[in-house]
Amino acid sequence: MIATSRFVRGSLHRLRGIASVAASGTPPFIPAIPETVQAYGHTWQDVYHWIQSKPREVQRILREEAEHFRHVAHCHDMSSIAAISSQFRAEIQNLLPYQTESVGEVFGGWEFVSEQSREHPMPIYYRRCHLPPSAPREQQVEKKEILLDINKLSELYGENISIGQIKLSKCGNLVACTIAQNGTDDLYSVLVRDVKSGNIYEQPALKGVVSIEWDGDNETLLATQPDELGRPARVVSTSINKNISNVNLKEEGLMNEMFWTTVNRTNNTNAHSTGYTSLHDVFIEDLDVNHNGIVLYQRSRTTGKPEIEILCSGSLRNNSNNDNDSGGGGGKSSGSKESISVVSSYRPQLPDYAWCITPGANADFFSDTLRIMASSPVHPDEAMDLNLKSLENIGQQHPWKKHKIDTDFCVLGHNPDNYTLEKTWAPMLSCSTGSSSQQKDVSGGQKSSHYQKVPISLIYQKLHTSNETKHPKPCLVVVYASYGINLPTDFLLERLPLLKRGWTIALVHARGGGELGRQWHAAGRGPGHKPNSALDVEAAVEYLINNGYTVPGSIALEATSAGAVAAGGVVNSRPELFGAVVLESPFVDVLSTMIDPELPLTVHEYEEFGDPSTEQGMQGLKKVCPYYNIQSGGGGGGGDVEGIKRKERKGHSINSTKFSKGESSGMYPPVLITCSSTDARVPIWGPLKYAAKLRAAGGDVTNSRQGKGGRSVGVGRGSVLVYADAHGGHLADDREKYDLKAVQYAFLVDALMQQQQQREIDCLLSR
């Protein structure tokens, strides 16, 4: 299906004499070797395609990228990336509480709690006898029973472990968890801990599983396992006591390859829910079911804020068609037509700051209390309980019970009142002109005026005078816009150092996400609509500039995984807007990945990005692939040979008095790519090819300016750095997250600072 030029094999001989480590200030040598790629009747040139089939060269490149990054990061003085990241890490560490304890959730006479501390940074899960609120804290601590200590597991299995799921058996004496080592964060091994004895038992029969669940007999574990493409396709069982393993329960071989399966236990603990999920099945954010009714977690299509609606009925019928939180004697029955008759509905008011609402465990089907967690980008999680028996009396007021946390358990020195939270909307851009658009089809067929605008969540320091809005600030723009997943608006501690330095953070809820429902996802999905995601980022950036929040060149862009499709697209088309870009585990070589059905997740993602076996799908993939559309000198919009010409973009609405586009001459902004060779979702060759092509297109100018002693300083436009973690997996775990973010944000600060200094020098020289 995929053919490559035989010229490549003869050309690689010259790599053999290359030194294994790059010179201190020199990016890795990655030769551009002409190669013709053929797939589904299409051909194009990919001069870095050879990297995909040369694992030894990949390791060489990674070593040299690491050396190059160390040299640039530690250059010359206290303004270096290393110095700034060290300062950020210290600030984050000082904000971390000495000890945190979650608000307990009650079930079966027990209160379940998790705890972390500076001494034990990984979670410790335990339970204690449920005591009345008046009981002294000493009694609660004395009755504590540890269920699982992740710190102990890291001592046994290494610091680079990640935990997927934790499941408690029906009897409450066995805890099963999935554990991944060395960054393999998609496939897990299974451990079982005996709560009474403390013994841990490995389950060799359950290697490479995706999810697990206990059966009702307290000795059988169910697990989903992947097929050869990494798709969870079958359910197996193993007996913990009898050591009888791999009894095949269900085989999904007849199912479409675009589906996957999972298994969960319903809240009545006697039934299991086996779900078959495709990309377009689920769009309700979440729901809970108990004997009082159904709780829907939704989002306002006018304000973009979360809402809760409680649907009550006279009785809930067994086997009602709901997902995990079902009970009262039945689980989900696929295709069931059973239903409940709604007697009344209630919408309890939420706090104004509650930009993010997530359900609590709510494990007790017969409980009269609903637990939610409320947060915002500047408000840490707060547990809130609602008495479901008092719904008839709440009117517009809500009797939420907020759980106070001791000062030892708060984020130290952080005051949410120092920051402003703002929801705003940017006019969309037309795909053909780049001007503001009111076209119906651009928004995916929506009629509401809000569907003609892009939602933006803004966070910045509270203004003390009305004149402060006239002084634009550095701005971090964050985007994801994929799979119908909402861009999180919860609290992230690692962003506080930027906010304290006067940065504005703009969360762009572009089409392709799920913020405005199913049609919002459809408007940014597939070959016909995926380009809208990048257009929405561009529209949001123009809005921020025109409304005085920031200026071009002071805008940093951040994207993770599939969010890099939108981010890479707008960087290709409008590089002059951005002062720096950070891409984490970026999905940037979309075309090379999607034409190879043997790679994990490829077939499953045809709906999201396009099926290359169709002409429309192939053209769509070429159009949205950030790697394919890199152009020499920046400016984007075309491929190597079968280039897709950049469409005329007239009528851009940026105020010309605020910025001269000649400043960057179309050169790409500084880019930091963080990735891992153990990433099971994004092949390591994708980010490496992208970095090589960016350097070739923009002319890496990392060393263009000299500091004291002739040493290079900082990063300039066109520079590209790669920060690779050999054990990081697709996403950094909790232990490494803050370190990684400190490096990423230090890069952004350094890059914007260096360019500001260069602009000031250029201004003086031009006088």
Condensed to tens digits (0 to 9), the pLDDT of residues 125-175 reads 999 888 766 667 666 555 789 999 999 999 998 877 888 899 999 899 999
Retrieve residue 662's tokens: 């000649």
Q: What are phi and psi of 571, to 5 degrees?
A: -70, -35
Are the CB atoms for 492 and 560 separated by under 8 Å? no
Per-residue pLDDT, averaged over 668-696, amounts to 93
Q: Is the pLDDT higher at 312 or at 28?
A: 28
Cα 360 off chain centre by: 21
The whole-number pLDDT of residue 78 equals 52
**Using only C-alpha atoms, what is the Rg of the chain?**
27
Candidate ranges 241-245, 338-342, 607-611, 652-656; pick with highest mean pLDDT: 607-611
pLDDT of 443 over the 80 cut: no
Per-residue tokens: 344: 């009344």
Tokens in use for 324? 């995990």
Q: What angle do CA 476, 477, 481 make, to 5 degrees?
A: 150
pLDDT exceeds 50 at position 635: no
The predicted structure's pLDDT at residue 12: 38
Question: What confidence score (pLDDT) does residue 601 get?
Answer: 79
Is the pLDDT assigned to residue 688 strictly greater than 80? yes
Residue 132 φ/ψ region, left for φ over 0, alpha for ψ in the -120 to 50 degree band, beta for the rest: beta
pLDDT at residue 638 is higher than 50: no
User: Are 553 and 751 in contact, with CB atoms under 8 Å apart?
Assistant: no
Q: What integer pLDDT is reported at residue 62 of this predicted model?
A: 94
pLDDT digits (tens, 9 = 90+) for 724-752: 986 667 776 666 789 999 999 999 999 99
Q: 10-24, 38-52, 393-407, 506-520: lowest mean pLDDT where?
A: 10-24
- Band (248; pLDDT cuts 50, 70, 90): low
Residue with tokens 């509905």: 345
Element (H, E) at 763: helix 734-765
Cα–Cα distance measured from residue 245 to residue 378, given in angstroms and rounded to the nearest whole number: 48
DSSP annotation string for 537-585: HHHHHHHHHHTTS--TTSEEEEEETTHHHHHHHHHHH-GGG-SEEEEES
Residue 698 confidence class, pLDDT cut points 50, 70, 90: confident
Burial (CB count within 10 angstroms: exposed 0-12, middle 13-18, buried 19+), residue 314: exposed
Which pLDDT score is estimated for 736? Answer: 79
- In this prediction the pTM is 0.83
**pLDDT at residue 735, rounded to an integer:** 65
Cα separation, 632 vs 666, whole angstroms: 9
Residue 185 has pLDDT above 50, yes or no: yes
pLDDT at 320 over 80: no
197 confidence band (pLDDT: 50, 70, 90):
very high
Q: Kindly state the average pLDDT of the residues 490-516.
A: 95
CA 128 from centroid of its chain's CA atoms: 34
pLDDT of residue 376: 96
Q: Collect all residues with Cβ–Cβ distance below 8 Å to 378 and sequence separation of at least 6.
A: 353, 414, 416, 419, 421, 459, 491, 499
Q: How far apart are CA 479 and CA 544, in angstroms?
A: 14
Backbone angles phi, psi at 766, to 5 degrees: -80, -10
In CATH, the architecture of 7-93+414-745 is: 3-Layer(aba) Sandwich (3.40)
Pairing of strands 99-101, 162-168: unpaired
Specify the range with the lowest mean pLDDT, choosing from 86-100, 554-568, 627-641: 627-641
Q: What per-residue confidence (pLDDT) applies to 362?
A: 86
DSSP 265: E
Asked if 633 and 599 touch (Cβ cutoff 8 Å), the reply is no
pLDDT of residue 748: 97
Range from 53-57, 688-692, 694-698 carrying the lowest mean pLDDT? 694-698
Q: Of 390, 250, 394, which is closest to residue 334 (Cα–Cα)?
A: 250
Higher pLDDT residue, 81 or 234? 81
Collapse the DSSP code of 483 into the 3-class scheme (helix H, G, I; strand E, B; otherwise coil) and give the result.
Answer: coil
Residue 316 per-residue DSSP state: P
pLDDT for 468 equals: 54
In the structure, what pLDDT confidence band is assigned to residue 388 with cuts at 50, 70 and 90?
A: confident
- The stretch 692-702 carries a mean pLDDT of 78
Residue at 449: amino acid letter: S
Cα–chain center distance at 396: 35
Q: Report the distance separating Cα 151 and Cα 100, nearest Å.
A: 15
Tell me: pLDDT of 46 over 90.
Answer: yes
What is the Cβ-side half-sphere exposure of residue 392, based on CA atoms within 13 angstroms? 5
Task: Say which residue, 577 or 76, is predicted with more confidence.
Answer: 577
- Alpha-helix runs per DSSP H in 143-269: 150-157
pLDDT at 641: 34
670-to-351, 454, 619, 702 alpha-carbon distances in Å: 40, 26, 29, 9
Per-residue pLDDT, averaged over 379-392, amounts to 85
Query: Which letter does DSSP use for residue 147 in this model?
Result: E
Q: Identify the pLDDT of residue 368.
A: 85
Average pLDDT over residues 87-105: 87
Quote the CA–CA distance of 119 and 689 in Å, as a whole number: 41
Burial class of residue 169 in the structure, from the number of CB atoms within 10 Å of its CB (0-12 exposed, 13-18 middle, 19+ buried): buried
Q: Check residues 394 and 83 and name the one with the higher pLDDT.
A: 83
Q: Is the pLDDT of residue 622 over 50?
A: yes
CA 168-169-172 angle, 5° bins: 80
For every residue of 385-452, DSSP letters joined together read EEEGGGGGG-TT----EE----GGGSPTT--GGGEEEEEEEEE-B-TTT-SB---TGGGTS--SGGGG
Residue 188 CA to residue 210 CA, distance in Å, equals 6
pLDDT of 480 strictly over 90: yes
Compute the distance between CA of residue 541 and CA of residue 426 in angstroms, rounded to an integer. Answer: 9
Q: What's the whole-number mean pLDDT along residues 667-671?
A: 93
Q: Report pLDDT for 54.
A: 94
> Is residue 361's pLDDT more than 90?
no
Mean pLDDT for the stretch of residues 290-305: 74
- The mean pLDDT of 81-85, rounded to a whole number, is 93
Identify the CA nearest to 431 among candidates 690, 644, 617.
644
- Give the pLDDT mean for 562-571: 97
Q: Is the dihedral of CA 275, 252, 590, 641 positive or negative?
A: negative
Top-confidence residue, 613 or 337:
613
Per-residue pLDDT of 500-509, as tens digits, reads: 999 999 999 9
Describe the chain by its helix, strand, coil percentages, rounded to 5. Answer: 25, 25, 50
Distances 96 to 119, 176, 381, 488 between C-alpha atoms, Å: 12, 29, 14, 21
Q: Which long-range contacts (CB under 8 A, 24 or more apart) does 130-136 make?
A: 130/104, 130/106
The structural domains of the chain, with segments of one domain joined by +, span: 7-93+414-745, 278-409
- Provide the pLDDT confidence category of residue 701 given band limits of 50, 70 and 90: low
Q: How many residues does the chain have?
A: 767
Please determine, for residue 628, whether its predicted confidence score (pLDDT) is greater than 60: yes
Instruction: Report which listed range, 207-216, 348-357, 503-512, is most confident.
Output: 503-512
State the residue for tokens 């609509």.
529
Residue 337, pLDDT > 70, answer: no
Q: Which residues does 147 contact at the CB level (< 8 Å), separation at least 6?
A: 112, 125, 126, 127, 166, 168, 175, 193, 195
| Confidence tier at 269 by pLDDT (50, 70, 90) | low
For the chain, the average pLDDT equals 78
**434 pLDDT above the threshold of 80:** no
Average pLDDT over residues 403-412: 59
Between 246 and 660, where is the model more confident? 246
Identify the CA nearest to 419 among candidates 356, 467, 464: 464
